[in-house]
Amino acid sequence: MSAPRSDLAPEPGLSRREMERLQREIADAAVFEDDFPFDPAAITNPLEASANAAASDLETPEAAERADPPIVAGVDQSFLDDDRALSAVVATRAGEVIERVHAVTPLEIPYVPGLLAFREGGPILAALEELSVSPDILLFDGSGRIHFRQAGIATHIGVVRDVPSVGVAKSLLCGEPAAETENLPAGTRVPIEADSSVDAPDGTLLGYALQTRQYDSPDRYINPLYVSPGHRVGPETAADVVEALATSYKLPEPVRLADSYAEEAKSLVEPETDHEN
C-alpha cells in the first residue's frame, strides 16, 4: 500500500507538543464524511455471505454483473514483550479471509492516552506494507474521531494511507454520550458528542456507542463499542459497516479475526535473545 501522506506519519521521537500539533494537522486533513467508490451495503459478514451464496442461483443477469464486494481489512496489535509489537492485518471480502499478514517492529515509547498512534502507528504501517491486496476500508481496534484532537489511530493511519477507515474502540476515550449507554438492546446507537475535552465545537457528532449484541439475561449485560469515522467515512456509515460485520461476537468480524491472528502469529516469531561476546 502506498502512503500519499507519509509526511504525516507518526514519529515516536517527537515531543508531546509536536505530537499533538501533528494530530491537529491530521484532523484538518481528515474527511469525516463518505468519500469512497464502493457500495457500503455490499459489505457482509460470513453468515450473510453464506446466505447470499445459497441464493446465487436466483440472481438476475444484472445482479451477476455487479462489481466485486469491497475488501475490508481488520487491524489489531499484540505485544511480544516490552520492546516489540506484532501488528496483524486480516483482509476479507464477502465474509471470506483473502489474506493475513503481520509485522514485528520495536516499540519506542510507552502508552500515553491520546497518543496511541505514535506508539503503534509505525508497526501498523509496517504490517500494511506486507499486504498484496489493496483494502477498500480499514477497521481499527482503536479510536477514530472520538479523540481529544479528533485524530485517533484510525484517523491517523487512514489519512497517511488515504484509505477509508473506521475506529472501533472498547471504551470511551472522550466526548459525551447523548443518552445512557448501559444495558442497551442490540442494534441501539447512542450519539457521542464533543464536549470541552475535544478540539471541536460542543455537540459535534464524533461517532456512536453501538450495541452489536446483548445478553438475554437481565442479570448481566455487554458494553457497547465506540465507533467513529477515521477518514473518508461518515459517522452513520461507520456504524452501519461495523453493525453489518458483527456476527455472534461483539467485535466486527475483521477486527476479531485480526485480534485472533495477532495471537496466533506470536508462535511464528522467534524470541528475542541478547547476544553477548
What tens-digit pLDDT sequence spans the chain (277 residues)? 557 899 999 999 999 999 999 999 999 999 999 999 999 999 987 656 555 544 454 555 554 445 689 999 999 999 998 889 999 999 999 999 999 999 999 998 998 999 999 999 999 999 999 999 999 999 999 999 999 999 999 999 999 999 999 999 999 999 999 999 999 999 999 999 999 999 999 999 999 999 999 998 778 889 999 999 999 999 999 999 999 999 889 999 999 999 999 999 998 886 765 544 4
Asked if residue 131 lies in contact with residue 71, where contact means CB atoms within 8 angstroms, the answer is no
Within a domain: 250? yes
Say if strands 84-93 and 176-177 run parallel, antiparallel, or are unpaired.
Answer: unpaired
Asked if residue 127 lies in contact with residue 88, where contact means CB atoms within 8 angstroms, the answer is yes
Q: 81 a known binding residue?
A: no
Within a domain: 276? no
**Amino acid making up residue 186:** A
Within a domain: 141? yes
Q: 141 a known binding residue?
A: yes
| pTM to 2 decimal places | 0.90
Q: How many domains does the chain have?
A: 1
CB-based contacts of 143: which residues, under 8 Å, 6+ apart?
116, 152, 153, 154, 155, 167, 169, 173, 226, 228
What is residue 114's DSSP assignment? T
Within a domain: 205? yes
Within a domain: 170? yes
* Domain residue limits at 137: 6-47+70-269
Distance CA 88, CA 65 (A): 33
Within a domain: 56? no
Q: Taking each helix axis from N to C terminus, what angle separates 153-161 and 116-129, rounded to the nearest 10 degrees?
A: 40
Within a domain: 60? no
For residue 158, give the CATH number of its domain.
3.30.2170.10
Within a domain: 63? no
Q: What is 177-196 written as a DSSP string?
A: ESS--SSPPTT-EEEEE--T
